[in-house]
Structure formats: C-alpha cells, structure tokens
C-alpha cells in the first residue's frame, strides 16, 4: 500500500479510536448499571491503547497524527456519549455495536493490504478487540431485551 494512503487510513483509525475513548467514558458515567459502566470504562481503556498504537504506527511512517482529530474526536465522543446515555441503554448498545462493526470492517480491509509485519499484528489485535467489544455488547443487548419482553 502506498505510504500516504496508509497514513490516511491509520489517521482514520486514530480518530475513530480517539472518539470511542471519550464516547465510552461518557457513556460509563451516564448509565446506572454498574456492570455496563465498568465494561464501558474497560472498553475505553482498551481503545486508548488502540489510539496509542495508531500514533506509534503513524510516527513510524514519518508522519504525525492529524491534529484536528485531537480536538474534534474527543468533543464529539463526549457529546454523543452523553446523548446516547440519555436515550437508554438499548439504544446506546445498538449505536456502539454499529461503530464496532464499522471498525471491524475497516480493520479487515486494511489488514489485507499491509505488508509491515508489526503493523499487521497491531491491526489484528485491534480487530479482535473490536470483535470482543461488539460480541459483549450484543450479548448484553440480548439479555436486556429478554428481560423486557
């Protein structure tokens, strides 16, 4: 993959993961279910590692992460996190699952195009985390829907 195109893709993941750190942190503060709050906080911690990995990968390519993302992604994450917390746990989980599925698709697409073994491993690790987050949230949603039926 061409260097500039790879940097653009990595910046996409950097911004997405940065957004999700604040999204999940805000949601964790907005929900009353302690187990869900703890899980969202844990997801935010894992997402922060993804952010750090993307920063490292971008810098290894001789570039810097897009600074606009440092400002907009956290603000957007906090706003959306607070709003989804107010819209109810089921809607919160549905939104999060959609975001995780988008991230999984994009990670899969990029994995097929990289030839750097270190980056390949980072992308696979992040993809698996996304899949685990999505599966946990889908299971939690299913549990909540069975309670309210």
Question: Alpha carbon of 31 to those of 42, 93, 109: distances in Å?
Answer: 14, 11, 33
Q: Give the pLDDT of residue 88.
A: 84
- The whole-number pLDDT of residue 120 equals 97
pTM for the model stands at 0.87
Q: Which two tokens stand for residue 90?
A: 């089921």
Half-sphere exposure (Cβ direction) of 105: Cα atoms closer than 13 Å: 6
The DSSP result for 80-112, as a single string, is HHHHHHHT-HHHHHHHHHHHHHHHHHHHHHHHT
- Alpha-carbon span 125 to 147, nearest angstrom: 33
The per-residue pLDDT string of the chain (149 residues; one tens digit each, 9 = 90 and over) reads 899 999 999 999 999 999 899 999 999 998 999 999 999 999 999 999 999 999 999 999 999 998 765 556 555 545 555 555 567 899 999 999 999 999 999 999 999 999 999 999 999 999 999 999 999 999 999 999 998 75
3-state secondary structure of 90: helix
pLDDT at position 77 is 47
Closest residue by Cα to residue 134 from 92, 101, 85: 101
Q: How far apart are CA 29 and CA 84, in angstroms?
A: 11
């Amino acid at each position: 993959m061409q260097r500039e195109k790879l940097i653009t893709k990595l910046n996409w993941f950097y911004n997405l993961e940065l957004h999700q750190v604040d999204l999940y942190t805000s949601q964790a503060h907005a929900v009353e279910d302690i187990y869900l709050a703890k899980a969202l906080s844990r997801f935010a911690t894992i997402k922060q590692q993804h952010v750090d990995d993307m920063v490292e990968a971008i810098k290894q390519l001789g570039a810097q992460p897009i600074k606009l993302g440092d400002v907009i992604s956290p603000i957007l994450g906090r706003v959306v996190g607070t709003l989804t917390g107010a819209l109810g746990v089921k809607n919160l989980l549905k939104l999060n699952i959609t975001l995780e599925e988008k991230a999984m698709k994009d990670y899969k697409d990029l994995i097929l195009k990289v030839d750097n073994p270190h980056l390949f491993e980072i992308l696979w690790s992040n993809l698996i985390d996304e899949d685990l987050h999505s599966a946990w949230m889908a299971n939690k949603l299913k549990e909540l829907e069975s309670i309210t039926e």
